[in-house]
Amino acid sequence: MLKIAVIGGDGTGPEVVREGLKVLERIAKLEKFKAQTTEFDLGGEKFLKTGEVLPDETLEALKKFDAIYLGAVGHPDVPPGILEKGLLLRLRFELDLYINLRPVKLYPGVDCPLKDKKPEDIDFVIVRENTEDLYVGMGGFAHKNTKQEVATQVMLSTYFGVERCVRYAFELTRKRNRKKLLTLVAKTNVLTYAHDLWWRVFKEIATEYPDIKTDYNHVDACCMWMVKNPEFYDVVVTTNMFGDIITDLGAMIQGGMGIAAGGNIHPSKVSMFEPIGGSAPKYTGKNQINPLAAIGALGMLLEHTGHEKAGRRVEKAVAKVAGELESLSAGKMGCTTTEVGDRVCEAL
Ligand code: IPM
Ligand code: MN
């Protein structure tokens, strides 16, 4: 029995997750496995009513599931940072989900904003470190609200954190078995401490993987190559902050936020899967948001929890429907959110 904790969250999160769960029911029947879902009411609405973001008991309860399926976090009436730090980042940190895995794949028939690029040119995976860097929230203010104000935000990297992330990326490159190329993306020419550590660890671990070719890009150059020559990439490993930025760029070249899925992973503990786009308040409740990213995240969840065949089938169905929609953008798909979910079920 696969036990999944479901957090619909904010905005369009619950709508896209609903379609994912519809697909789960269908694939479970087809592949003959049992799945049980438990909904958790978390997010902006709950915070506004109760003042609570993520109660400790809830966090403890979440640890007992096989996986967590998350819709979106972010509410227009809640000041920035409260839900992001209190819910999403707290889950990533406290569950030690040290990998943020974000595939960038252009499916056949999907519009790509890059001229002349085809599905065979855009197929790589970004491994984003998920527990360190500027995200740890170290730093502070002095002399706040004066002309002498000082603000610091610490970019933290540890040997432990970098090593486990880089090792995961090497293993994944081997497992993918495509170009067998792992590219480190950092900024060693400026961040001569934190990224020097990344560079040295990368070189050190590389000696254990003689079958994997390695490359290095500064992050600014990576943004250039992702647009100009995305076919260069197979697996990219990078820091939390840079990974946040380049995965949005990755989402755009694969057709937009409507299709971009990701996993927050601890290889041996409960992991969390989510569409990488936000809560899209503008589209909330309109049945217009694209649920394919959330359904793709469900596919990743299944693959991660030992249902590889089911996960691959879901991905194939998502790819098929993605290629058939008028557009992947909310409101322009040529059908509704629920119809997209139905079409994925049919494709299965
Ligand atoms: C993401 C999001 C989050 C991040 C925000 C909502 C905190 O942008 O998952 O990429 O910065 O990691
Ligand atoms: Mn982001």
> Does any ligand 1 atom lie closer than 6 A to the CB of residue 244?
yes
pLDDT of residue 343: 98
Nearest listed ligand to the Cα of residue 278: 1
Q: Which of 203, 220, 253 is the last residue of a domain?
A: 253
Same-domain check for residues 88 and 145:
no
pLDDT of residue 292: 98
**Residue 127, SS3?**
strand
Give the pTM. Answer: 0.97
Same-domain check for residues 196 and 98:
no
Residues carrying an active site annotation: 135, 187, 220, 244, 248
Same-domain check for residues 131 and 214:
yes
CATH number at residue 260: 3.40.718.10
Distance CA 205, CA 210 (A): 10
Distance CA 151, CA 324 (A): 49
- Which atom of ligand 1 lies nearest, measured to the CA of 88? 7
Same-domain check for residues 119 and 225:
yes
Q: How many domains does the chain have?
A: 2
Q: Which of 253, 285, 311 is the last residue of a domain?
A: 253
pLDDT of residue 10: 97
Query: First and final CA of the chain: distance in angstroms?
Result: 21
**Helix count and strand count (H, E) for the chain:** 12, 12
Same-domain check for residues 71 and 127:
no
Residue labelled with tokens 């840079």: 242
Same-domain check for residues 264 and 158:
no
Residue labelled with tokens 């380049």: 246
Question: Cα–Cα–Cα angle for 97, 230, 107, nearest 5°?
Answer: 75
Nearest CA to ligand 1 atom 6: 84
Distance CA 117, CA 227 (A): 10
pLDDT of residue 141: 98
Q: Phi then psi for 160, rounded to 5 degrees?
A: -55, -50
Nearest CA to ligand 1 atom 7: 84
pLDDT of residue 268: 95
Cα 333 to ligand 1 centre (Å):
25
Same-domain check for residues 125 and 243:
yes
Q: What is the mean pLDDT of residues 275-287?
A: 95
Pairing state of beta strands 261-265 and 35-39? unpaired
Range of the domain at 73: 1-105+256-348
Name the pLDDT band for 319 (thresholds 50, 70, 90). very high
Name the pLDDT band for 174 (thresholds 50, 70, 90). very high
Q: What is the mean pLDDT of residues 4-26?
A: 98
- Which atom of ligand 1 lies nearest, measured to the CA of 274? 9
Q: Which of 212, 231, 253 is the last residue of a domain?
A: 253
Determine how many CB atoms are found less than 10 A away from the CB of residue 213.
14
pLDDT of residue 332: 96
DSSP for 240-277, written as a single string? HHHHHHHHHHHHHHTT-TTT-EEEEE-TTS-EEEEESS
Cα 346 to ligand 2 centre (Å):
31
Same-domain check for residues 150 and 46:
no
CB 236 within 8 Å of CB 246:
yes
> Does any ligand 1 atom lie closer than 6 A to the CB of residue 84?
yes
Same-domain check for residues 240 and 269:
no
Nearest to 344 by CA among 13, 26, 121: 26
> Does any ligand 1 atom lie closer than 6 A to the CB of residue 70?
no
Same-domain check for residues 225 and 343:
no
Dihedral, CA of residue 109, residue 112, residue 114 and residue 118, to nearest 10: -30
Same-domain check for residues 316 and 225:
no
Same-domain check for residues 238 and 301:
no
- Which atom of ligand 1 lies nearest, measured to the CA of 247? 10
Question: And the tokens for 93?
Answer: 């940190």
